[in-house]
Structure formats: C-alpha cells, structure tokens
Amino acid sequence: MDFLIVSEYILLVALAIFVLATIRITTRKTIAMSLVGVSGLAIAVAVILILLKNIYGVGFCTDIATALIILGPVGTIAFSRVLRGGD
C-alpha cells in the first residue's frame, strides 16, 4: 500500500471525528454556534468528497464539493442578514 493512500485514510478517520465534533457544536443553544458548526460540517464534507475522488476516482464528487464550498458561506451570510433585520 502506498504511503499517500495510507495518509488519505488517516485523514478520512480524522475528518469523521471532526464531523462528529461539528455536529455536537451545531446542537448548541445559540444561533452563532449553530452557524459555526454547519460551516465546519460543510468544509469537512467537501474535503471528504475530494478525498473520495482521489481514492476511488468518482468524478462528480468534485462538483458537489465545489458547490458546498461556494454555497456554505453564501447561506451563512444570508441567514445572518435575516437575523439582523436585513438592511
């Protein structure tokens, strides 16, 4: 087994732990912590999708990861503007 493949699997395990941590952050009482958790979750899922593309060669993972990275901050900004009152 190649060293790069082993390191990608180790990164997948670390990202799985990070996903569990962000889900716990998302379930906090404040809205700000929920936004932080969802943003972290979107980044983790995007990186997992890119790793799956590199390991298994699934082509559409790149498109989904790009959409997550672009739409994640846009949704956060839109939601925070709605909470603020939307000037």
The pLDDT averaged over each successive group of 10 residues in the chain (87 residues) is: 87 93 88 85 92 89 91 82 72
Q: What is the pLDDT of residue 87?
A: 57
Integer angstrom CA distances of residue 17 from 11, 14, 33, 59, 66: 10, 5, 18, 25, 22
Retrieve residue 49's tokens: 């999708």
Task: Count CB atoms within 10 A of the CB of residue 26.
Answer: 16
Measure Cα distances from 66 to 10, 47, 49, 63, 79 in Å.
Answer: 23, 10, 10, 5, 20
Domain residue ranges in the chain: 9-75
pLDDT at 53: 92
pLDDT at 29: 80
pTM exceeds 0.85, yes or no: no
* In the chain, alpha helices (H): 3-26, 31-56, 61-84
pLDDT at 82: 82
